[in-house]
Amino acid sequence: MIIGESKVDWRRFDAVLFDLDGVLTATATVHSASWKQMFDEYLKERAEQTGTPFVEFDIEGDYKTYVDGRPRYDGVATFLKSRGIDLPRGEPSDTPDQKTVCGLGNRKNDLIQEVLATDGVEVFDGSVRLVRRLEKVGVRQAIVSSSKNAEAVLRAAGIIDFFEVRVDGVVAARMKLPGKPRPDTFLEAARQLGVEPVRAVVVEDALAGVKAGVAGDFGLVIGVDREGDPQALKEAGADIVVDDLGLLVYEGD
């Protein structure tokens, strides 16, 4: 499935900036499941303490709207705000049992680490074909991910050597860059590559990430639809929406 331009002329661009989870690696479903487990545990405990009804975390609604594509602690805070819950921000060093934004975020991180250690990382074959083709034709590549686990995921997937630059959650925190839907992390990746945004492509599966690409005035924004809802990515501003990046690999290029 392709919505938008039927063919991308990669020679128009100097670099492609990829999100990771859900774009290159099949870890988005693992992330969403980990978020649900963490939030449901917290919400059940809170409901018992306050005598209010328990309303579970909904992956289709809550995850996509408030969490997907955002830095971990921002995702926690944004979702809690949607439920009218005000917790202290805390510190990144908070333990996973502390009832702070950072504590809950760290609990989620523990859950995803357990899954990665047990199950490893699956990559999307079509995405890897595109990465290899871009390397062959001389288009530079970078990873722009909100995840602080991006390096571990790339190494586990065996694709880390394809990317000259990585602006992930660790880098963003160190440089104090605001996360998606702000464009700052994508702009920083382009800066490190020495590429003008208009000559770079953003590839994203999250609405927040697509909006970041649009806000940064990049030359092309490609949405990757893994959820069967291409129109949402198109409405967020994606120029092209595909369900498999392999569709953008053309023999003879």
- Active site residue ranges: 19, 21
3-class state of residue 145 by DSSP: coil
Sequence-ordered list of residues with C-beta below 8 angstroms from that of 39, at least 6 positions apart, any chain: 57, 62, 79, 104
- Measured from the Cβ of residue 97, the count of other Cβ atoms closer than 10 Å reads 9
CA distances 233 to 122, 198, 214, 220, 253, Å, are: 23, 20, 11, 13, 27
- The verdict on whether omega for the bond into residue 181 sits within 30 degrees of 0, i.e. cis, is yes
| Sequence-ordered list of residues with C-beta below 8 angstroms from that of 231, at least 6 positions apart, any chain | none
Contact between 133 and 253 (Cβ < 8 Å): yes
Alpha-carbon gap, residue 103 to 200, rounded angstroms: 36
**β-pairing verdict for 140-144 and 165-167:** parallel
**Identity of residue 54:** F
3-state secondary structure 51-97: CCCCCCCCHHHHHHHHHCCCCHHHHHHHHHHHCCCCCCCCCCCCCCC
What DSSP state is assigned to residue 238? Answer: -
